[in-house]
Amino acid sequence: MAYRRLILFITIIFLLYIPKATLAQTPINDNSSAQFNIDWQELNTEYFTIVYATKIEVREREDDELKPIDCPDCGQAEAEKYATFVDGLYDNLATIFATDIETPVNIRLYPTEESYFEINPIAEYLTGVIAHALNNRKEIAVALPRTQGITEPQLVNNMRHEISHLFASKLADGKLTAGFQEGIAQYLEKPTDKTANNPALLKQAFEQGRLLSWDELDQSREIYRDPQVAYPQSLSIVSFLIDRYGLPKILEFIEMTGRESGYRAALNATYNKSAEVLEAEWKAYLPSYFDSRWQINAIYNYDLGRVTQLVERGAYSDATTEINEIVTLLESTNQHETLTRAQDLLYRAEQGQTAAGLAEESRSALMASDYQQTINKGIAAQQMYNALGYQDRLPEIQTYIYRAEIGQEALQQLEYGNRLLNQLRFMEAERQINEATIRLQALNNPNAAQQGLNLLEESARRQRLLAYTLLVIGALLFLANMVHRLYHRMVAHPLEVEFR
């Protein structure tokens, strides 16, 4: 673990203390060193130019002649080994960062420690340093002799760490400070037996009150006063931000760093929270991090707990959006078991979205007084929610169905009242129509309720018309009778009249 912590320690110290003119120089070429003359050969891959030595000449003193030194293969075999995996690392990191960097990137394999010290002098005093990235020169420098004692997974991790710096620098337009740079590069390393990121030292520093503030972590010199604390602390901060808010958010923060005036403004713009609030949340998160959360990694050991909770709470739209991003990530990082679980969750979330859509259609149909559609969509939504084991919305949907059934009964009652009205059964018709109209008004069905009111008016009109008709008929009958009697008086025989 020490070698990994020191890799970028030397990188930053080197960048802090070497003159700016040196940073602007191109990589070492033939005859560029006062002590070494190295003939370089290039091995090209899709994204990288791996530069290795074919011949080395050295002089111990300035006046001495250059003399060849032993150089078995001079790095050719190592260059071929790097060529087998660096393009895969590039593709993987390009997927994670959702961006590309300018290629080809040089990986220069220095054949001796002394030649490596020429461009990274401090490495002479810190034997844990293996390589460092020169962001401004698109180059990764490797001290080949120091790679001999590490395993291949460690070697791959070393390159993953350095290439991560190049991607983070590109995304942040070169403005991401050392604390977050180191945090993200460590987070993207693949855990191995030698790089398990056990936070024991960080926990001890936490208990002793030795943690740096986020403002201090923003200062490179402060970080390297105590790298044994600063490095795992920077990792814990990145782990917290990803664990709490997701990987896409921290990538957004890195990108925002290139646009904002500093890390505080970038945090606020990304998370809509101040740096102070996030720092307080991180401190509250640390006990769980020490306990087990340090083992969770979105790239290699993704924790689906958050999206699982979203699905269980019925937040299906949010879950679908987040899981789609997770699936893309898992596909690129070969987390097959987690990918299968994520796809199952995605299916449930999509089914939940469909159920939610049916529930909304049921509600909309009820508002539009389409009662049969309300019932059909509501029953379908209930069936889907039951299949998902989600019960929270069932009472709501049942209410839609119940009101729709009342609406259907009211419409049937209104139709029955209309038939009674046509049969001139006014009292019974008015009772049915009145009850149906009250129900329809309660259901906010103004059109059907107005139909009921119209039928009630029609009933009253018909009753009035019937009464007038009967009155007229009675009057006509009375008049006819009077006419009839008068007629008989006028045409009858006088004696008959007297007799009468």
Give how many domains the chain has, as a whole number. Answer: 2
- 80 and 226 both lie in a single domain: no
Amino acid identity, position 334: N
Query: How many other CB atoms are found less than 10 A from the CB of residue 476?
Result: 10
Residue-wise over 19-31: b if at least 16 C-beta within 10 A, else e?
eeeeeeeeebeee
- 184 and 251 both lie in a single domain: yes
My answer on whether omega of the bond before 191 falls inside 30° of 0, hence cis, is: no
Range of the domain at 66: 1-171
Between 488 and 258, the higher pLDDT residue: 258
- 139 and 224 both lie in a single domain: no
My answer on whether omega of the bond before 287 falls inside 30° of 0, hence cis, is: no
**Residue 13 within a domain:** yes
Between 135 and 476, the higher pLDDT residue: 476
pTM above 0.75, yes or no: no
pLDDT tops 80 at residue 228: yes
Residue 1's pLDDT is what?
44
Query: How many other CB atoms are found less than 10 A from the CB of residue 273?
Result: 14
Could you tell me if 59 and 35 are in contact, meaning their C-beta atoms sit under 8 angstroms apart?
A: yes
3-state DSSP assignment of residue 132? strand
CA distances from 216 to 124, 212, 247, 251, 387 (A): 27, 6, 24, 22, 52
Mean pLDDT, residues 127-139: 72
**Pick from 23-37, 109-123, 248-262, 387-401: least confident:** 23-37
CA–CA separation, 25 vs 33, rounded Å?
A: 13
Q: Residues 431-448: pLDDT tens digits?
A: 988 998 999 999 999 998
CA angle 287, 192, 309 (to 5 degrees): 45
- 13 and 132 both lie in a single domain: yes
pLDDT tops 50 at residue 28: no
Mean pLDDT, residues 443-464: 88
Query: Which of 266, 301, 336 delimits the end of a domain?
Result: 301
- 25 and 149 both lie in a single domain: yes
pLDDT tops 80 at residue 61: no
CA angle 170, 171, 175 (to 5 degrees): 75
Residue 8's pLDDT is what?
44
Could you tell me if 5 and 228 are in contact, meaning their C-beta atoms sit under 8 angstroms apart?
A: yes
Between 236 and 493, the higher pLDDT residue: 236
pLDDT tops 90 at residue 494: no
Cα–Cα nearest to 241, from 305, 276, 285: 285
Q: How confident is the model at residue 151 (pLDDT cuts 50, 70, 90)?
A: confident
3-state DSSP assignment of residue 303? coil
pLDDT tops 70 at residue 10: no
Mean pLDDT, residues 197-225: 85
pLDDT tops 80 at residue 178: yes
- 154 and 209 both lie in a single domain: no
- 149 and 214 both lie in a single domain: no
Mean pLDDT, residues 214-219: 88
Residue 193's pLDDT is what?
56
What percentage of the chain exceeds 70 in pLDDT?
86
- 130 and 197 both lie in a single domain: no
Mean pLDDT, residues 480-497: 73
Query: Which of 109, 142, 171 delimits the end of a domain?
Result: 171
Residue 358's pLDDT is what?
95
Residue 367's pLDDT is what?
93
Query: How many other CB atoms are found less than 10 A from the CB of residue 341?
Result: 16
Query: How many other CB atoms are found less than 10 A from the CB of residue 497?
Result: 11
pLDDT tops 90 at residue 198: no
Q: How confident is the model at residue 29 (pLDDT cuts 50, 70, 90)?
A: very low
What's the token pair of residue 15? 């960048």
**Residue 262 within a domain:** yes
**Residue 89 within a domain:** yes
**Residue 293 within a domain:** yes
pLDDT tops 60 at residue 342: yes
- 137 and 192 both lie in a single domain: no
Q: Residues 79-123: pLDDT tens digits?
A: 999 999 999 999 989 988 989 999 999 999 988 877 787 777 766
Q: How confident is the model at residue 491 (pLDDT cuts 50, 70, 90)?
A: confident
- 161 and 189 both lie in a single domain: no
- 34 and 153 both lie in a single domain: yes
- 130 and 184 both lie in a single domain: no
Mean pLDDT, residues 266-294: 93
Q: Residues 368-387: pLDDT tens digits?
A: 999 999 999 999 999 999 99
**Pick from 5-14, 69-78, 227-236, 383-392: least confident:** 5-14
- Torsions phi, psi for 50 (to 5 deg): -90, 115
CA–CA separation, 208 vs 18, rounded Å?
A: 34
Query: How many other CB atoms are found less than 10 A from the CB of residue 470?
Result: 10
What is the C-alpha R_g of the chain? Answer: 43
CATH number assigned to the domain comprising residue 61: 3.40.30
